[in-house]
A and B are shown apart, each in its own frame.
Chain A
Amino acid sequence: MRRDAFSGCHPAVNFLFFVGAIGFGATIQHPAYCAAGCIAAAVYYLLLKGRKGFKMLGGMAVLFLLMSALNPLLNRSGKHVLFTWFGNPYTLEALYYGMALGSILVVMLLWFGCYSEVLTSDKFTALFGRVIPALSLVLVMVLRMIPAFTRKARQILLARRAIGKGASQTGKLTEKAKDGASVLSALTDWALEGSIITADSMRSRGYGTGRRTNFQIFRMTARDYFLLALILALEIAVILLGGTGASFTPRLKIDPIGWGLAVYCLLLWIPTLLQIKEVIAWRISISKI
């Protein structure tokens, strides 16, 4: 993974940011806000993923176009009819509405993409370990189980291939299905056996003997407190300033653009700005050596 300044912040900062970015992104239909969200999310996504991110953005563009074009087929209200198909009107309002919905979906997917890069499982559990200790431990264990399960499945299938019992080697469909079922049951047996040992290992290390604490590998620094306050203030400001209302059908009704949009942009650009600041600081410090 690439180094990213925002990922280096405390998980609470990360989480608060994404609550705002995804929350607003999913609820605000105002075209200006949607566009701002798309741009900010795309830029930060590229920053995190590098060149590989373009592929995803291409997919997002296709998704946006599809959503936009398809919405008028389902939603027939609106005053400006562009053309009719099979006697049904294809309206401009519905097209706009589709674009808004498409961009909302794109914004959310992009932010979630960033979220999974930034707020890794260990950060998530560090964050919620104190609030819901049992649940966060279960989550950690499940996260470990899933890849282990697939690895074991692959191992079993390979082993069976090498004795002529692979999936492609047995003949009929019914046989294949039976074969798959017995492999699955073997996997379950294996998982149960493993979990007995894990349980022993947990109890042996004092799990369930009393109050449990949570090891915090992340520490809040002054910068984290500052960012936390800033993000919180900006999010409240977006809500209070308003001007985010928009309705499309049957008639376009969109709030005028106000200060809220500027505040919203500032909020969304925090991760990218942090990274830019860090790159500049790094350049300067290198030039001094």
Chain B
Amino acid sequence: MAHFHIQDLTFSYPGAADAALKDVTLSIQPGEYLLVCGKSGSGKTTLLRHLKTVLTPHGQRTGSITLDGTPLEQLPPRDQAARIGFVMQNPDDQIVTDKVWHELAFGLENLGCDQSTMRLRVAEMASFFGIQDWFHREVAELSGGQKQLLNLASIMAMQPEVLILDEPTSQLDPIAAADFLNTLKKINRELGTTIVITEHRTEDVFPAADRVVIMENGRVTALGQPREVAEQLYREKSQMFPALPAPVRVFYEAAQEGACPLTVREGRSWLSRCFPQAPAIPALPPEPPFPAGKVAALELKEGWFRYEKNGPDVLRGVTLTVPQGSFFAVVGGNGTGKSTMLKAICGICKLYRGHVRLFGKDLGSYRGKLYEGCLSMLPQDPKCLFVKQTLQADLEEMGASPEKIREAAQLCQVETLLSAHPADLSGGETQRAALAKVLLSEPRLLLLDEPTKGLDSFFKQSFAEILKNLCRRGTTVVMVSHDVEFCAEYTDLVGMFFDGQMLTTDTPRRFFGSNSFYTTAANRMSRHLFENAVTAADVVTLLRQNREGSL
């Protein structure tokens, strides 16, 4: 018997013209790992929230949802709380108490468990999730990844049968995200807990899922095993296809026969089968070096910085040159000092040794004029930039003329959102609106701190186009990012940051082509045959060229 059964569910938010969910019918089997995919606003979150009565939004609803044959609304709240676990996007706001141990016990307290049961369950969960080491810590001291793991653990302590997760890794860095998703897989495999997840980091989840649901405009448009769904998306030329993992995209775009590879490992062996002998054309022509120009937009020389007098050095002789008009990406692990470097560039952190030059002039010589047309920074959390009641008012705050505002809004594709409250915008919209605000000071150098965090592949694409457009107009963009795929696809130059220093800087193809671990999935799957294919498109091009060559 099906675990969850959703029958003809249609739902619309009060006052909305269009229904958010339309005739959704879906059965979820016990122990299944189900991935729900879709663009932002396709109804994924609305669907997930219907699986738990206390979280179900208000509005017009028809259809039914049953859990083990019982209609969900007839199931007492206490049963639902224990049986259905729900993990949300924001790691911070979900946490209720101030101590790790208390948070672990919070759900059990609500269920009225007695001391000895709680003690045992909390101990079990702390051991299963490897939390023992930070069991007595304050929640505020934890990293984002640890917080989200704590959220998961505190729900697992209630021993739910179903775990529902709404984009749980969107606020995490790639390493913490992979760690989280691995833990989920472990829960599914070892405890048999049913998992329903929405996620745009499909690289990890897509191959692990038993079935995939694709949602578009509130409808389920595809449902099946990952390979079936991938095939259908390709056949229908769906907008969701570019969101699939690189091996899948390469396979279909090169129009191959046989079983589709889902992981990098499968992709490697599939490519090996395609080329019994070494390929005739092993490499793409390397990109021409980026023209250096006379005066660099940004020159950072031997910069040293620490936050406290006796603290450790965060920047340890960082040296960096960014040519004018380039889209420059800085990649590297968490906590290596990348964001600090950005702060040093815009003068918030003062270097105690070394210097910063902007367009040939020393940072200090700009004085108060630094933010008037020279540089501007988009912070990691773009919401921090909005302080007014409407987006329009927020843009006006920058003191630009109405024409300028209209132009910036148009460039960032937010003209239709000007009257909205900034808090009501979706993740991608917030990012673009923040960019519009930052651009109003007409910076020649734009600094971006993790701009693609939490964006789905469509928003990333439109965001990249805006940035490319800016570069063509002569703006220099420096971006700090974890998103290797994004950097490989769109930037002109990539530099590696480690231990407070910049290591190599090169064009994406040369840079990622010479890395073996810190590189894109397409490169990892093809590097044993091709020398410098870093994006799925590169691999497809080389495959085609070689095939035509052999004919």
Q: Which residues of A contact B (CB under 8 A)?
A: 121-122, 125, 137, 140-141, 143-144, 147-148, 151, 155-156, 158-165, 169, 182-183, 185-186, 189-190, 193-195, 197-198, 200-217
Instruction: Assess the B114–A163 pair: CB atoms within 8 A.
Output: no
Which B383-400 residues sit within 8 Å CB-CB of chain A? 383-388, 397-398
26 cross-chain CB contacts under 8 A: A122-B102, A151-B140, A158-B348, A159-B381, A164-B371, A169-B368, A169-B371, A182-B388, A182-B397, A183-B387, A195-B93, A197-B88, A198-B95, A198-B96, A200-B55, A203-B55, A204-B55, A204-B86, A208-B110, A209-B111, A213-B108, A213-B112, A213-B118, A215-B102, A215-B105, A215-B122
Closest chain A residue to B94 by CB distance?
Answer: A201
- B78 / chain A contacts, CB cutoff of 8 Å: 206, 209-210
- B95 / chain A contacts, CB cutoff of 8 Å: 144, 198, 201
How many chain-B residues does the 8 Å CB contact rule pick out?
Answer: 66
B377 in contact (CB, < 8 A): yes
B139 in contact (CB, < 8 A): yes
B158 in contact (CB, < 8 A): yes
**CA A164 – CA B387 in complex, angstroms?**
14
**CA A156 – CA B382 in complex, angstroms?**
10
Instruction: Assess the A206–B110 pair: CB atoms within 8 A.
Output: yes
Of the candidates A122, A144, A159, A201, the one whose C-beta lies within 8 Å of that of B385 is A159
Per-position binary interface string of chain B over residues 82-123, scored 1 when its CB falls under 8 Å from any chain A CB and 0 otherwise: 100110101011111111011001111111111100110010
Instruction: Assess the B139–A155 pair: CB atoms within 8 A.
Output: no
- A137 / chain B contacts, CB cutoff of 8 Å: 96-97
B447 in contact (CB, < 8 A): yes
- Given the contacts A156-B387, A164-B370, A164-B371, A198 and B54 also touching, CB distance less than 8 Å: no
**CA A161 – CA B82 in complex, angstroms?**
46
Instruction: Assess the B109–A215 pair: CB atoms within 8 A.
Output: yes
Of the candidates A182, A200, A212, the one whose C-beta lies within 8 Å of that of B387 is A182
Instruction: Assess the B379–A186 pair: CB atoms within 8 A.
Output: no
B224 in contact (CB, < 8 A): no
Smallest beta-carbon distance A163→chain B, Å: 5
**CA A210 – CA B220 in complex, angstroms?**
37
Smallest beta-carbon distance B57→chain A, Å: 11
Of the candidates B158, B346, B381, the one whose C-beta lies within 8 Å of that of A205 is B158
Closest 6 CB pairs of A and B: A164-B371, A206-B81, A215-B105, A162-B377, A159-B384, A197-B93
**CA A212 – CA B112 in complex, angstroms?**
5
B52 in contact (CB, < 8 A): yes
**CA A268 – CA B388 in complex, angstroms?**
55
**CA A185 – CA B387 in complex, angstroms?**
7
Q: Could you tell me the dominant secondary structure of chain A's interface residues?
A: helix
**CA A206 – CA B437 in complex, angstroms?**
41
Closest chain A residue to B81 by CB distance?
Answer: A206
Which B10-30 residues sit within 8 Å CB-CB of chain A? none
**CA A137 – CA B387 in complex, angstroms?**
31
Instruction: Assess the A201–B96 pair: CB atoms within 8 A.
Output: yes
**CA A159 – CA B385 in complex, angstroms?**
6
Smallest beta-carbon distance A238→chain B, Å: 35
Instruction: Assess the B423–A202 pair: CB atoms within 8 A.
Output: no
Per-position binary interface string of chain B over residues 198-236, scored 1 when its CB falls under 8 Å from any chain A CB and 0 otherwise: 000000000000000000000000000000000000000
- B346 / chain A contacts, CB cutoff of 8 Å: 162
**CA A160 – CA B397 in complex, angstroms?**
11
Closest chain A residue to B76 by CB distance?
Answer: A209
B376 in contact (CB, < 8 A): yes
Q: Which residues of B contact A (CB under 8 A)?
A: 52, 54-55, 76-78, 81-82, 85-86, 88, 90, 92-99, 101-102, 105-115, 118-119, 122, 139-140, 151, 154-155, 158, 343, 346, 348, 368, 370-372, 376-377, 379, 381, 383-388, 397-398, 423, 437-438, 441, 447
- A182 / chain B contacts, CB cutoff of 8 Å: 387-388, 397
Instruction: Assess the A140–B102 pair: CB atoms within 8 A.
Output: yes
Instruction: Assess the B423–A147 pair: CB atoms within 8 A.
Output: no
- Given the contacts A197-B94, A206-B78, A213-B118, A122 and B388 also touching, CB distance less than 8 Å: no
- A194 / chain B contacts, CB cutoff of 8 Å: 90, 92-93
Instruction: Assess the A198–B93 pair: CB atoms within 8 A.
Output: yes
- A208 / chain B contacts, CB cutoff of 8 Å: 110
**CA A190 – CA B377 in complex, angstroms?**
21
Instruction: Assess the A217–B379 pair: CB atoms within 8 A.
Output: no
Smallest beta-carbon distance B97→chain A, Å: 5
Of the candidates B90, B99, B107, B110, the one whose C-beta lies within 8 Å of that of A197 is B90
Instruction: Assess the A209–B387 pair: CB atoms within 8 A.
Output: no
- B97 / chain A contacts, CB cutoff of 8 Å: 137, 140-141, 144
- B385 / chain A contacts, CB cutoff of 8 Å: 159-160, 163
Of the candidates B54, B114, B154, the one whose C-beta lies within 8 Å of that of A213 is B114
- B96 / chain A contacts, CB cutoff of 8 Å: 137, 140-141, 144, 198, 201-202
Q: Told that A147-B140, A156-B384, A159-B379 touch, could you supply 11 new A-B pairs with CB distance under 8 A?
A: A121-B98, A141-B98, A144-B140, A159-B384, A160-B387, A163-B437, A186-B388, A206-B110, A209-B111, A217-B101, A217-B102
**CA A200 – CA B112 in complex, angstroms?**
19
Smallest beta-carbon distance B321→chain A, Å: 21
Closest chain B residue to A161 by CB distance?
Answer: B348
- A140 / chain B contacts, CB cutoff of 8 Å: 96-98, 102
Instruction: Assess the A212–B348 pair: CB atoms within 8 A.
Output: no
Instruction: Assess the B384–A155 pair: CB atoms within 8 A.
Output: yes
**CA A122 – CA B82 in complex, angstroms?**
25
**CA A220 – CA B376 in complex, angstroms?**
58
The residue among B92, B108, B109, B343 with the most chain A CB atoms within 10 A of its own CB is B109
**CA A256 – CA B76 in complex, angstroms?**
69
- A159 / chain B contacts, CB cutoff of 8 Å: 377, 379, 381, 384-385
**CA A162 – CA B346 in complex, angstroms?**
7
- A125 / chain B contacts, CB cutoff of 8 Å: 102
- A200 / chain B contacts, CB cutoff of 8 Å: 54-55, 88
Instruction: Assess the A211–B112 pair: CB atoms within 8 A.
Output: yes
- B122 / chain A contacts, CB cutoff of 8 Å: 215
Closest chain B residue to A207 by CB distance?
Answer: B110
Smallest beta-carbon distance B135→chain A, Å: 9
- B88 / chain A contacts, CB cutoff of 8 Å: 197, 200-201
Instruction: Assess the A144–B372 pair: CB atoms within 8 A.
Output: no
- A202 / chain B contacts, CB cutoff of 8 Å: 96, 110
**CA A73 – CA B137 in complex, angstroms?**
50
Smallest beta-carbon distance B220→chain A, Å: 24
- Given the contacts A185-B387, A210-B112, A122 and B377 also touching, CB distance less than 8 Å: no
- A206 / chain B contacts, CB cutoff of 8 Å: 77-78, 81-82, 107, 110-111, 158
Closest chain B residue to A156 by CB distance?
Answer: B384
**CA A29 – CA B139 in complex, angstroms?**
43
- Given the contacts A203-B54, A206-B81, A148 and B92 also touching, CB distance less than 8 Å: yes
Smallest beta-carbon distance B305→chain A, Å: 15
- B438 / chain A contacts, CB cutoff of 8 Å: 163
- A215 / chain B contacts, CB cutoff of 8 Å: 101-102, 105, 108-109, 115, 118-119, 122
Instruction: Assess the A158–B379 pair: CB atoms within 8 A.
Output: yes
- B113 / chain A contacts, CB cutoff of 8 Å: 213
Of the candidates A163, A190, A198, A212, the one whose C-beta lies within 8 Å of that of B371 is A163
**CA A161 – CA B346 in complex, angstroms?**
9
